[in-house]
């Protein structure tokens, strides 16, 4: 396989001056495939814990220069003026109004075409900037048909209408072949008789084109001979086409070149077409054709996913130079504006300097190496956005292709804070009853597991993400989902409280009510309690992130990616949170050390996982953008060849 796709991709991208949107966000481009990503999440972080993207993102954009689908107005003009090939609908068939409607209105081409499959060609894979980024973070990255959400529902409906119209069209051809007199009369029939544009010729042409892209060139003559469209249409009109023989040939050809796991599909296609031909049942024939196109799509996906695995190392190692060339071209042409990101970075730098100056000599951390300090500023700035109570309007524009990962990290961090708030409310209630936990670590572990399971019960991850993608929700810290499960969480906390206080096994309202009120208040308001846990989390996350960043700076992108396979060691380096004494929902006091309760067990594993992910993302980002933007004025003073800083 030619590896020049990388340079070709860069040339294509440099020639595209359109808006820079992640996964085609905000554009009208229609994409048929998406990347299926295995979430490399934290110990508790199932996919449903992931905050959906702020932008509606689709995995692909058409390569620059390709033709876009015709507009609806163009389609309506074409349909209003029937072509010479338009065929009249025989009244004798007694078609229903729906059958007539979809026969005239359904899409002209099959759901799977050479054009849609071209999104999976190697040049498109190599030029897919989103895929290049995601390959660094997902070891099991692969393509699958994009059939989820509203867009997927629309595509499935269009596909159903197309194949239903194809079944009706086959029935019409069979009728005309059995009644040649009626076929002649239609040429002089009433002008008011409804007509439709035949789809079979385009389907056979598409079938020929797609198969030729999937089989070696030596098999092309056989494909051209067996799928000669004029001959096939002539045989259909005369009612002499041997569909069983054609299906047998196609099944044998596909089984020769497809993966063994697809053989069953090819056999099923042959069985369906054979049964439909013998019973003269058009719908069964169409089921076979539908299965045939499904096999072809699966074969193309198999090839594309094999190419991703084959070129994964190249995609990862070329990430930084590819992105630098890409963004340099965009910036030089004025099609990508990043000055606001530089202002954001300089603001983070000023805040970091003020924080360091305010720290007393006793509590201040050891001074960082000079070459790591600017990178720490980046992590401080992005951590502030991940930890703040209200959602940031957006992340800096330079994080365009990492925004989904940042929203996922924010969702995880905010959920961890919410969990600590819930644990604090539980312990505070137990303390007000003058009781103490005898097996605190075990209780915390069970408490944590139960709360997370409540957050997952009865919710479908993908549907929730797609439905909430366009929500007008000002709270992006996960509280909406927590508040949705408020009653269940409060009941679970009350059960733990009753068990700890040796109360009646039946949870009374007087136990649930104050717990639920406190939970709702602290999740809905930016209280001092939130600030306490926020600050504790910030220190832990920054420490874990900088620790990982120092390890990653000398490494190549591939080495950093592979290092993510190693699970972090869970070491008790200190308490993550402390506890307090009040469950008053209107209380803004934060926990203090003046109580007899011990600190909650640390969530060190979660913190280390977050630190590893954030450091991975940040180091790659820094290598691209430090010389281009953040340090462009200071770059002459840096020895870029001696360190891994940039």
Predicted confidence (pLDDT) per residue in 569-605, tens digit: 544 333 333 333 344 444 444 444 334 344 445 478 8
Phi-psi region of 221 (alpha: psi -120 to 50; beta: other; left: phi over 0): alpha
Distance from C-alpha of 241 to C-alpha of 229, rounded to nearest angstrom: 12
Of the listed ranges 72-76, 384-388, 474-478, 565-569, the least confidently predicted one is: 72-76
pTM of the model: 0.75
Of the listed ranges 125-129, 225-229, 363-367, the least confidently predicted one is: 363-367
Predicted confidence (pLDDT) per residue in 446-485, tens digit: 888 888 888 765 444 333 433 443 344 444 455 567 877 8
Radius of gyration of the chain from Cα atoms? 31
Q: Is the pLDDT of residue 30 over 60?
A: no
Distance from C-alpha of 541 to C-alpha of 386, rounded to nearest angstrom: 10
Please compute the mean of the pLDDT values over residues 153-179 and round it to a whole number.
92
Structure tokens at 617: 């993302």
Distance from C-alpha of 268 to C-alpha of 289, rounded to nearest angstrom: 10
Phi, psi of 24 (to 5 degrees): 70, 20
Instruction: Give 476 or 534, the one with higher predicted confidence.
Output: 534
Please compute the mean of the pLDDT values over residues 274-288 and round it to a whole number.
94
The string of DSSP codes covering 142-207 is EEEE---HHHHHHHHHHHHHHHHHHHHHHHHHHHHHH-HHHHHHGGGS-TTS-EE---HHHHHHHH
Q: Is the pLDDT of residue 409 over 90?
A: yes
**Do 84 and 195 form a contact (C-beta atoms < 8 A)?**
no
Q: How many CB atoms lie within 10 A of CB 603?
A: 23
């Amino acid at each position: 396989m030619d590896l020049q796709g990388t340079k070709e991709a860069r040339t294509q991208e440099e020639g595209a001056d359109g808006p820079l949107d992640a996964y085609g966000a905000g554009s009208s481009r229609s994409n048929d495939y998406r990347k299926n990503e295995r979430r490399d999440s934290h110990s508790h972080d199932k996919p449903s814990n992931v905050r959906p993207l702020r932008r509606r993102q689709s995995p692909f954009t058409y390569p620059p220069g390709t033709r876009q689908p015709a507009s609806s107005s163009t389609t309506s003009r074409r349909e209003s003026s029937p072509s010479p090939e338009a065929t009249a609908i025989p009244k004798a068939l007694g078609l229903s109004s729906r059958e007539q409607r979809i026969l005239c209105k359904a899409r002209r081409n099959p759901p799977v075409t050479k054009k849609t499959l071209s999104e999976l060609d190697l040049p498109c894979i190599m030029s897919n900037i989103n895929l290049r980024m995601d390959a660094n973070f997902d070891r099991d990255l692969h393509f699958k048909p994009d059939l989820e959400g509203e867009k997927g529902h629309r595509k499935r409906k269009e596909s159903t209408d197309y194949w239903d119209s194809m079944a009706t069209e086959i029935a019409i051809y069979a009728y005309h072949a059995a009644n040649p007199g009626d076929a002649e009369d239609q040429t002089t029939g009433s002008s008011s008789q409804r007509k439709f544009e035949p789809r079979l010729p385009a389907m056979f042409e598409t079938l020929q084109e797609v198969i030729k892209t999937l089989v070696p060139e030596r098999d092309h003559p056989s494909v051209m001979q067996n799928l000669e469209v004029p001959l096939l249409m002539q045989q259909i009109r005369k009612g002499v086409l041997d569909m069983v023989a054609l299906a047998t040939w196609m099944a044998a050809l596909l089984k020769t070149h497809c993966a063994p796991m697809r053989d069953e599909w090819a056999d099923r296609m042959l069985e369906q077409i054979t049964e439909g031909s013998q019973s003269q049942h058009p719908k069964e024939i169409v089921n076979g054709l539908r299965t045939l196109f499904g096999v072809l799509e699966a074969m193309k996906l198999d090839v594309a996913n094999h190419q991703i695995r084959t070129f994964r190392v190249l995609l990862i190692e070329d990430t930084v130079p590819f992105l630098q060339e890409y963004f340099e071209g965009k910036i030089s042409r004025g099609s990508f504006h990043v000055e606001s990101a530089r202002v954001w970075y300089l603001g983070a730098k000023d805040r970091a300097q003020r924080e360091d100056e305010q720290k007393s000599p006793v509590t201040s951390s050891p001074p960082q190496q000079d070459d790591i300090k600017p990178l720490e500023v980046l992590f401080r700035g992005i951590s502030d956005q991940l930890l703040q109570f209200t959602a940031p309007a957006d992340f800096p524009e330079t994080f365009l292709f990492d925004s989904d990962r940042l929203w996922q990290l924010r969702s995880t961090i905010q959920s961890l804070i919410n969990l600590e708030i819930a644990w604090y409310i539980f312990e505070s209630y137990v303390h007000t009853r003058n009781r103490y936990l005898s097996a605190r670590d075990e209780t915390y572990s069970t408490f944590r597991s139960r709360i997370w399971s409540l957050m997952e019960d009865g919710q479908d991850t993908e549907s929730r993400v797609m439905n909430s993608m366009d929500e007008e929700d000002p709270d992006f810290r996960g509280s909406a989902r927590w508040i949705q499960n408020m009653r269940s969480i409060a009941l679970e906390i009350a059960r733990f409280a009753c068990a700890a206080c040796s109360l009646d096994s039946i949870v009374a309202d007087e136990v649930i009510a104050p717990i639920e009120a406190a939970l709702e208040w602290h999740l809905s308001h930016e209280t001092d309690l939130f600030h306490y846990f926020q600050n504790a989390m910030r220190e832990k996350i920054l420490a874990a992130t900088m620790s990982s960043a120092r390890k990653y700076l000398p490494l190549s992108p591939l080495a950093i990616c592979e290092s993510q396979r190693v699970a972090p060691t869970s070491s008790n380096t200190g308490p993550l949170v402390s506890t307090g004494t009040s469950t008053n929902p209107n209380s803004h006091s934060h926990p203090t050390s003046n109580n007899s309760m011990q600190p909650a067990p640390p969530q060190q594993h979660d913190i280390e996982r977050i630190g590893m992910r954030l450091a991975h993302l940040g180091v790659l980002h820094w290598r691209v953008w430090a010389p281009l933007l953040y340090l462009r004025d200071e770059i002459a003073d840096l020895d870029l060849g001696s360190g891994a800083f940039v």
